[in-house]
Structure 1
Amino acid sequence: MRRRIPSTQALACFEAAARHESYTRAAQELALSQGAVSRQIAALEDYLGARLFRRTRHGVVLTACGADYARQAERLLASLERATLDAAAYHGGGTLTLGAVATFATRWLLPRMPRLAARHPELIIHMETRTRPFMFGDTDFDAAIYAGTPEQVRNWAGTRATLLLREDVLPVCSPDLPGYRPGATPAEIARLPLLQQSTRPYGWRQWFDAAGVAAPDALRGPRYELFSMTAMAAVHGAGVALVPRILIEDELARGDLVVACDRMLPGERNYYLVAPAQREEGVALRQFREWLLDEAGADGEVG
């Protein structure tokens, strides 16, 4: 059956004009004349039988119908572009589009990707940064690697999650940090500069409470958004960082960081592979999950 859809050229002109609210800027982006863009949009409006823009003294603005259509057109054109790129990159294997938390992806996942390539040379992984839960139906992601609590994972509607790694944290610092001595006690750590993680604002307080040590300055110190930033600050002698060991393996191996105190604190968050529950699992996702579990040495599905 013949599909009732307009030309992609008309949709591309409309999407660009809607994004800029300007035929002129859309024409510049698409390397077309303003008249060509105007004709394409006029043809699209005739096809739909609806007005998508209305003219004002300052240019054009979307109608209510146009605004709704623009949101859908933008998503569908992006999906079509992604599918086209996937087809161009296809070489006989599966393709997986993955959303992942940035530090885990760069510090733990990407260094291990050559082993995935050796095991499944036909498998292609596309990766983008995502830190918060999202609706899979509104994106092109096949799965996500997410750092969160078991409750957060259970509340992520319409998904199933596989536990990969626990986020146990320990204090690390530069071996040259002034005031640090090997084998420091928690009380001695409390007297050193502390580096704070903005996404784990009470991490140090929890660590000192677990050690039974009073630390009035547990919440003081510079704050960093990412573990990678906190670790780098520690490497350069800014203070003691409380980070998961799995994210600083290279720095520990090189001696850029040392374990300041071997007391580890079980983290509240874990790393999960999350996928849509209602979507049929493909070979690519199954292969990727099996490889991840082998790498992590973990298993078990979270409800």
Structure 2
Amino acid sequence: MRRRLPTLQALQCFEAAARHQSFSRAAQELALTQGAVSRQVAALEGFLGVKLFRRTPHGMALTPAGADYARQVSRRLEALERDTVDLMGRRGQGDSVTLATVPTFATRWLIPRLPRLAARHPQLLVHLETRTRPFLFPDSGLEAALWAGTPEQLRQWPGTRATRLLEEEVLPVCSPRLLPQGRPVPAAALASLPLLQQSTRPDAWRRWFEAQGVEAPHAMAGPRYELFSMQAAAAIAGLGVALMPTLLVQQELARGELAVACAAPLRGERAYYLVQPDGPEREALARLRAWLVEECAAAASLPPG
């Protein structure tokens, strides 16, 4: 069946005009005349049966439908360009996987291990993008995600299946300057120190104090950071105590930039998962998944630190 799609040139002209809010600037970018861009956008509106732009006293502006369509078209053109560059770079050889990952896990755990993947599967390329929250795979151009969460959160991620990779253990850490003689303190002592919060885990400190049997009225107070790498940097700077996954701060602990604030690690419901759309699995993703399972099994068998 023939696909009902507008021409690529019409979509490129529309996307550029929408981004610049100007036909003339879109024409300069695309090395076309303003009239050519205008005709392509008019043809697209005719094809769709929907007005994408409206005239204003200052020029042109997107209609609500045009603004929504521009967001969708921009994402898909970017994905098409990425796939094209990827294919050209590989010259048709090998395969690739586009993987979303939480940023700190990527930089601290995944990337240092990728040379081993390259040695085993030299033709397999892994492209990484960052995501801190669940997303819809069909709208993203991503094939899988390395994500940390609970089984309940996974059940709320529609149309996906997950492979459990690593259990997560969290531990309070801070600059040695905040601790008497740089040594760990009892859990109750942490309740009076500044607490650094993770914006994607607002109740993490409350759960930790409850597990220690400590009352902490201000467990959810303190500056919030979206990324664990930001939280680690804030802890190193002496801004407070961070509740960090132990696998993400091994280097800082070894260098003495961070110290264990209280020797009471907590293993909760959270774990690291490989999440992928529920459907057929490409061979490239299957190879990556098998390697991740093997790497995580080896990491879990090592002693802490």
The bucket for the TM-score relative to the shorter chain is: 0.7 to 0.9
Q: Which residue of 2 aligns with 1:256?
A: 257
Q: What's the CA shift for 1:97?
A: 0.7
Aligned counterpart, 2:79:
79
1:146 Cα deviation after fit: 1.6
Q: Which residue of 2 aligns with 1:297?
A: 297
Deviation string, structure 1 residues 69-108 (Cα, Å, up to 9, x no partner): 5455434423321221121122521110111112222222
2:69 pairs with 1:32: no
Residues 258 and 34 from structure 1, CA distance in 2 versus in 1: closer, same or farther, beyond 3 angstroms? Answer: same
Deviation of 1:153 (Å): 0.6
TM-score, normalised to structure 1, is 0.85
- What is the RMSD of the two structures over their aligned residues, measured on CA atoms? 2.9
Matched letter for residue 139 of structure 2: D
Unaligned runs of 5+ in 2: 300-305
Identify the residue that residue 287 of structure 1 maps to in structure 2: 287
Q: 1:42 to 1:271 in 2, by over 3 A?
A: same
Q: After superposition, what is the alpha-carbon deviation per residue over 1:34-76, rounded to whole angstroms, capped at 9, x for unaligned?
A: 2332243345556667765454443234567756754554344
CA distance in structure 2 between the partners assigned to 1:199 and 1:48 by the alignment: 40
CA distance in 2, matches of 1:71, 1:169: 38
SS of the aligned residue for 1:97 comes to strand
Measured in 2, the distance between the counterparts of 1:120 and 1:63 equals: 48
Aligned equivalent of 1:109: 110
- Report the Cα distance in structure 2 between the residues aligned to 1:225 and 1:73, rounded to whole angstroms: 28
Task: Name the CA distance, whole Å, in 1 between partners of 2:213 and 2:56.
Answer: 68
Sort the Cα spacing of 1:217 and 1:72 in 2 relative to 1 into closer, same or farther, 3 A: closer
CA contact (8 A) 1:164 1:298 kept: no
1:150 Cα offset (Å) = 0.6
Give the Cα separation in 2 of the matches to 1:225 and 1:39: 44
> Aligned with 2:177: secondary structure?
coil
What whole-Å deviation, never above 9, does each CA across 1:257-290 have from its counterpart, x for those lacking one?
A: 2222221112342221111112x21111111111
Percent identity among equivalent residues?
A: 62
Superposed, which structure 2 residues align to 1:1-303 within 5 Å? 6-44=6-44, 52-62=52-62, 70=70, 72-90=72-90, 92-179=93-180, 181-278=182-279, 280-297=280-297
- Distance in 2 (alpha carbons) for counterparts of 1:101 and 1:153: 15
Tell me, yes or no, if the aligned pair for 1:179 and 1:192 is still in contact at 8 Å.
no
Q: Is the 8 A contact 2:182 2:259 kept in 1?
A: no
Q: 1:40 corresponds to which letter in structure 2?
A: Q
* Cα offset, 1:161, TM superposition: 0.5
TM-score (norm 2): 0.84
Mean CA deviation greater in 3-12 or 160-169:
3-12
Q: Number of aligned pairs?
A: 298
Distance 1:288 1:132 in 2: 22
CA distance 1:175–1:265, shift in 2 (3 Å): same
Following TM superposition, the consecutive aligned residue runs of length 4 or more in structure 1 with deviations greater than 6 angstroms are: 1-4, 46-50
Q: Give the deviation of 1:254 after TM superposition.
A: 1.6
SS in 2 for 1:297: helix
Shift of 1:190: 3.3
Structure 1 gap ranges (5+): none
